[in-house]
Amino acid sequence: MISTYGMAAILIYLVCSPFVASILSGVDRVVTARMQGRRGPSVMQAWWDLLKLFGKESTSVNDIQKILVAAHCFFAVFSGAIFFGGGDLLLVFFSLTMAEVFLILAAYSVNAAYSEIGAQRELLQMMAYEPMLLLTSVGFYLSTGSFAVSDIIRTDIPLICKMPGFFIGLCFILVIKLRKSPFDLATSHHAHQEIIKGLTGDLSGRIYGVSELAELYEEILMLGMAGLFFITSDPVSIVWALIAVAVVMFAMSLIDNVFPRVKWELLLRYSWLVTFFAGGTNLMVLLLQAKGL
């Protein structure tokens, strides 16, 4: 049963996430521009772009595309609602996977070359980050004895102390989930990539706006997962979590501007190596601690 605080958190997430994520995206654009010696757009540019998309006419290849994109958005929002409502982490990850599956199906449904290439690369990216997400949920369970977010945030010490390997692994796959270079294979926010918007290349108008809205909700969810490592029963820990998230976001922007995009073989290799060494090692330590060794 969701508590009153959980319902309030869900309501805040549903109402505020698009606006907050748009501002964060705007800040990221400004930071990127400063790194490249440019002035950059307004911090509110991402929000105006989203509103402009919803004001345009939608042109779809077929009706199933609209349904699949809407399902993608629904499951992305649903995943965040479960998370911020204090629900089960496993259900969050499974729902998030369903959101990605519907987006891939939407790209395949149009029978277009660039969309299909983007869909194939999105599947590869899922293969890269899904193992780390599942391991992270297992790590939270071993550290707290529960998959429920409401139980995880009641710990006495920040879980970053017990799960540094999982935090490193999660930050690594955040580069993939937030579609940052060098792992923006399926679709990119930069105009210089050769298959710019490959996965969403055949979306337009309000339909494209729905997919962008889903991405904003997903961004807040993923940053919330990073902050979960720092939140405890002490309310002051929320401040530390916000600082940690800000540092992570700056690191994402720095990586995005420093590293060139890699091929899919390196994506899988790097992701699985980080999952094995960072996540796997931390998992072994937690298992040994659970057995009292």
pLDDT of residue 202: 79
* Model confidence at 142: pLDDT above 80: yes
pLDDT of residue 293: 58
Q: Is 191 helix (H, G, I), strand (E, B) or coil?
A: coil
- Rounded CA gap, 266 and 253, in Å? 20
Cβ atoms 280, 137 nearer than 8 A: no
pLDDT of residue 5: 78
pLDDT tens for 250-285 read: 998 888 888 888 888 888 899 999 999 998 899 998
The residue ranking higher by pLDDT, 292 or 142, is 142
So where are the chain's domains? 4-290
pLDDT of residue 193: 54
Q: Which two tokens stand for residue 242?
A: 């916000």
DSSP string, 202-268: T--HHHHHHHHHHHHHHHHHHHHHHHHTT--SSTTHHHHHHHHHHHHHHHHHHHHHHSPPPPHHHHH
Task: Please report the sign of the dihedral spanned by the C-alpha atoms of residue 284, residue 271, residue 118, residue 223.
Answer: positive
pLDDT tens for 115-126 read: 888 888 888 899
Mean pLDDT of the chain: 87
Amino acid at 176: I
pLDDT of residue 194: 54
* Model confidence at 60: pLDDT above 90: no
pLDDT tens for 1-18 read: 567 777 888 999 999 999
The whole model's pTM is what? Answer: 0.91
- Rounded CA gap, 177 and 50, in Å? 20
Of 87, 90, 119, 92, the closest CA to residue 103 belongs to: 119
Q: Which residues are 88's β-sheet partners?
A: 148
User: What share of the chain in percent tops pLDDT 70?
Assistant: 96
* Model confidence at 20: pLDDT above 90: yes
What is the average pLDDT across 145-157? 91
Q: Is 197 helix (H, G, I), strand (E, B) or coil?
A: coil
